[in-house]
Chains A and B, each alone.
Chain A
Amino acid sequence: MPRVFRVMRKDADDKPTVSPTSLGVRPGIDVDLDAQRNVLVNGKGMSVAPDWRDINVTRIPKRLRPQVPGAGGSNNTFCFRTGTGPFQQGAFSNRLTLEPDSAIHGNVAPAQVAPLANFEADIAATRQDWQEDES
């Protein structure tokens, strides 16, 4: 699995919160749907980066300003990491792929057209793999 980072909220067990703006996607914004509410395979998906320092500075939690000047994200969010492989196009986990669109950004997308609920469930299934990493 490629090594990726994402800023998310977390639950009491220190794992990311499953929600459209945390570990999940916002239909119509992060992913496009067809008339049957299937997620299209068009490179869109859940936003991730190869390093938390590459993430939009307005999302990186403010407490990390010493490491990333100007960080403007909420301190109620955290940088999470999963995977160990290179940041390149390929399998991410079951039925999910990583689709990089630049050297510093990519999307976790469905490997094939899938109902939104299934795609969300596949993303949620990675929850235990994520760990907080702000080093």
Chain B
Amino acid sequence: MTTDPKPLTMTPSYRAMVRGTRELHQLIAEGKDDSPEADAIRDATDGPWQALSEVERTRVQSLSEDLYSLAESPTAQSMNPQAQARLVEAFEAKNRGEWDRALDLLRRWRAHIDPSLVNYLRGSIWFEAGDPETAAIFLKLVDPSAALKAATEILQRHKEFSPDAIALAAKIAFQSARLKSETEANLVFEQLEPILKHTITRMEKDDPTAINGSTHVMLLSLLGFVYDFLGKTQAALECYSAALLIDSSNDALYVARGMLLYGSSARSITDFETAIQFGTPLVWPYVMLAHHHLLSGRFEECRRFCEQAIRTGASASVMSEVCEWMAIAQTHLIFPPDFIRASFDRAIQFDPSNLRAKRNLAAFEAANRPVAWETRTASAIRNSGLAEMRYAIAA
């Protein structure tokens, strides 16, 4: 198995140079390349430029060329077998973490590739290489329909493409389902299921030492999400578990598995705790553990996880419910009434349609303890949580 791709090492000089390059191109695009602002950028990048290695200089120059290309329309040429092979090569280089090579291939062959796909790939490469600011420049130009068209072509002829290319195309197709009706989305998942299964089998039959670990995990994860959407929970769980055997520190997979198991297996709790240990940026482990401890009567733990969830941030409805749990936990922990009211008020501010929070606040105000709180069951929380998080985790 190949090693996982590593983000670029970015020295302060390199960061300053890349930032300057981005800002200068913004001014060039506005016709201000001969302005005092542009000269200020040139002044600010003189020192960093001298401190760069040869590789970093070439990377900055290449980025500058890619930024120029956004304003230039190459003579569109049709995709030919040679260009297709280079596109696959770029996918593979990206998945191996050979960022410069992947970007170079796209630069040289971009005339043959749909511009949206080029920008999508450039954005993905910069994002995975650890530079989200640069990634955003390219990703905001992606025309989803064009990227989806290219992905659909790859999926239709998936046997001709590498697992890396299929994984990327499947991810684009999967994300496209977000904007579709449930029936249409299910159609996408039904089409993806056999392609992903076939690709994983093909990959595992080939030389196991040549398997790209990150691609293998991505394919298994996507298949797991597809199964989950299609209601095949057990198959989804098996996919996540198989992926975790390959990448045992993948926080998102622990969250995905924990969500499916919540309310039916104690393993979900350890999955959420493990995801937190691995520093997950996802809010769900905190939300679910807060709910779990609320129902278990461990109010201090509930309060702490509520705080973490609020700090991490979530949709208004989730934040509202978490604030409501916080208020309930505070009540049991004998917090001053003003604190408890503030938490209920926050819950109602986040989601004015949260009538349950209003009823719980009223119950608190009229309290002759103990208050009979209204809370949702584990399965209700699991189902609404799953509905919100699936696409986010697959992103």
Using Cβ atoms and an 8 Å threshold, which residues of chain B touch A101?
50
CA distance A25 to B28 in the complex (A): 25
Contact call A70/B33, Cβ cutoff below 8 A: no
Contact call A56/B45, Cβ cutoff below 8 A: yes
The chain B residues found within 8 Å of chain A, CB to CB, are 20-21, 24-25, 28, 33-34, 38-39, 41-43, 45-46, 49-50, 57, 60-65, 68
Contact call A21/B60, Cβ cutoff below 8 A: no
Using Cβ atoms and an 8 Å threshold, which residues of chain B touch A47?
46
**Chain A contact residues: over half helix, strand or loop, or mixed?**
loop
Contact call A69/B64, Cβ cutoff below 8 A: yes
Q: Is A2 an interface residue (CB 8 A)?
A: no
- 21 CB-based A-B contacts, threshold 8 Å: A21-B39, A47-B46, A56-B42, A56-B45, A57-B61, A57-B64, A58-B41, A58-B42, A58-B49, A59-B46, A68-B61, A69-B64, A69-B65, A70-B60, A70-B61, A70-B63, A70-B65, A72-B25, A73-B42, A75-B34, A105-B50
CA distance A69 to B63 in the complex (A): 9
Using Cβ atoms and an 8 Å threshold, which residues of chain B touch A73?
33, 42
Determine the residue in chain A with the shortest Cβ distance to B48: A56
Contact call A58/B50, Cβ cutoff below 8 A: no
List 15 other contacts, CB 8 Å, given A29-B43, A56-B46, A59-B42.
Answer: A56-B49, A58-B45, A58-B49, A59-B46, A62-B33, A69-B61, A70-B60, A70-B64, A72-B24, A72-B28, A72-B64, A74-B34, A74-B38, A101-B50, A104-B50
Question: Known interface pairs A57-B57, A58-B24. Does A69 touch B50 (Cβ–Cβ under 8 Å)?
Answer: no
Contact call A76/B64, Cβ cutoff below 8 A: no
CA distance A57 to B54 in the complex (A): 13
Question: How far apart are B379's CB and chain A's nearest CB, in angstroms?
Answer: 56
CA distance A102 to B47 in the complex (A): 11
CA distance A59 to B44 in the complex (A): 11
Contact call B62/A74, Cβ cutoff below 8 A: no
Question: How far apart are B108's CB and chain A's nearest CB, in angstroms?
Answer: 12
Question: How far apart are B30's CB and chain A's nearest CB, in angstroms?
Answer: 14
Question: How far apart are A46's CB and chain B's nearest CB, in angstroms?
Answer: 12
In A67-87, the 8 Å CB interface with B consists of 68-76
Question: How far apart are A100's CB and chain B's nearest CB, in angstroms?
Answer: 11
Determine the residue in chain A with the shortest Cβ distance to B57: A57
Q: Is A65 an interface residue (CB 8 A)?
A: yes
